[in-house]
Structure 1
């Protein structure tokens, strides 16, 4: 009888633990502000980035104090683009942008070029109903970018985060130094990420302006 009671209590605890872990995997609310760290590729400019995110240039510039001339931004640098981080369907944090599909585009090109690897080809395909080989030109498609509002179990001091696509040659130390925070803190927010792989998306504490 005692053994049966013990096993029942253990089972109840396991079920409760499972429910708690599962609940943490979902979101309850988003946050008003997140940052997309947009890698400027050759041929892109601030007007293009503004159009992609439907964000006026005057609303982007305050988050980029290093930009001296909005008509001339250097390829290979990054532009911080503010956006709202929403709780989508109660499942995860992200923001869904609308993109007009152009002639010659593919889901992969939209993810890798237009949105500068802030999302992935698979993720873009999942949030659209068009088959990847039969997407009409000039139709609106959904592009979802993941974001973060922080993690109270890591630190209560940070509430603004950048969605940051890793580039070849970057590593944990360089990203932390650029953000002005410790490498240990950045790693805690991205526990399963190998920063040396040169690809993938991480969340980095960002400064508020």
Structure 2
């Protein structure tokens, strides 16, 4: 009776230990656990782009976008070379990374690179678009629905607990660390803290900056 009881106890302990180890491995391998309800995309307005187009590719209503852009006096007249903040939900995708996948209808002659650079104003890259689609980069069909993933951030409590909203910010030519500090109003330490290892000398790439709400 005692031997049987001891075996049962040992088996139970082994099972519990295995489950704990398995759960620990899953947590270690997962790069994100949860997302956040709101993030912002800093969309750099190119020549000929209007708010109707921006609202379509991000599937957001114009009045909702305008709430995060008090500098826009008229939705029918946004200036090229400026930025529009576009709200979206920041999700933990496949337990792997934080982002949001938008649906985009390809136009004639589109490539992943062209979509990333022009349609989404460098908020994503051809690598991220290829990662969530089945088409070869050189054989993207015209007028077809594809996925476009934009990365986002929900912050890092180890850097600061004071910020709950973050902006996905593609660096433009001529911008650097000092211009980020001047433009965002946050300190150099915070910019670097929320973007560890970012290479400002490259003159391109995506930053995550603390942002203000409505």
**TM-score (structure 1 length as normaliser):** 0.87
Shift of 1:131: 1.1
Q: Does 1:76 align with 2:86?
A: no
Q: Does 1:113 align with 2:122?
A: no
Shift of 1:178: 1.5
Where does residue 31 of structure 2 map in the other structure? 26
Q: Is the 8 A contact 1:170 1:196 kept in 2?
A: no
Please, which runs of 5 or more residues in structure 1 have no aligned partner? Answer: 1-15
C-alpha separation in 1, matches of 2:175 and 2:190: 17
Where does residue 36 of structure 1 map in the other structure? 41
- Going from structure 1 to structure 2, the CA distance change for 1:116 and 1:131 (only over 3 Å counts) comes to same
Query: Which of the pair has more CA radius of gyration?
Result: 2
Q: Is the 8 A contact 1:101 1:137 kept in 2?
A: yes
Report the count of equivalent residues.
191
C-alpha separation in 1, matches of 2:65 and 2:139: 34
Please, which runs of 5 or more residues in structure 2 have no aligned partner? Answer: 1-20
Q: Is the 8 A contact 1:169 1:196 kept in 2?
A: no
SS of equivalent residue, structure 2 residue 182: helix
Shift of 1:135: 2.0
Shift of 1:23: 2.5
C-alpha separation in 2, matches of 1:63 and 1:196: 30
SS of equivalent residue, structure 1 residue 204: strand
SS of equivalent residue, structure 2 residue 67: helix
RMSD (CA atoms): 1.6
Q: How does 1:139-178 map to 2 (within 5 A)?
A: 139-178=144-183
Residues 163-196 of structure 1: CA deviation (Å, up to 9, x unaligned): 0000111111211222121121111111111223
C-alpha separation in 2, matches of 1:33 and 1:125: 25
The counterpart of 1:183, out of the listed 178, 185, 188, is 188
Q: Is the 8 A contact 2:103 2:145 kept in 1?
A: yes
Where does residue 129 of structure 2 map in the other structure? 124
Q: Does 1:206 align with 2:201?
A: no
**TM-score (structure 2 length as normaliser):** 0.85
Shift of 1:123: 1.2
Residues 15-74 of structure 1: CA deviation (Å, up to 9, x unaligned): x9xx78x73861111000000000000111111111110101100001001001111111
Residues 102-155 of structure 1: CA deviation (Å, up to 9, x unaligned): 111111100000000000011111110011222221110000000000001101
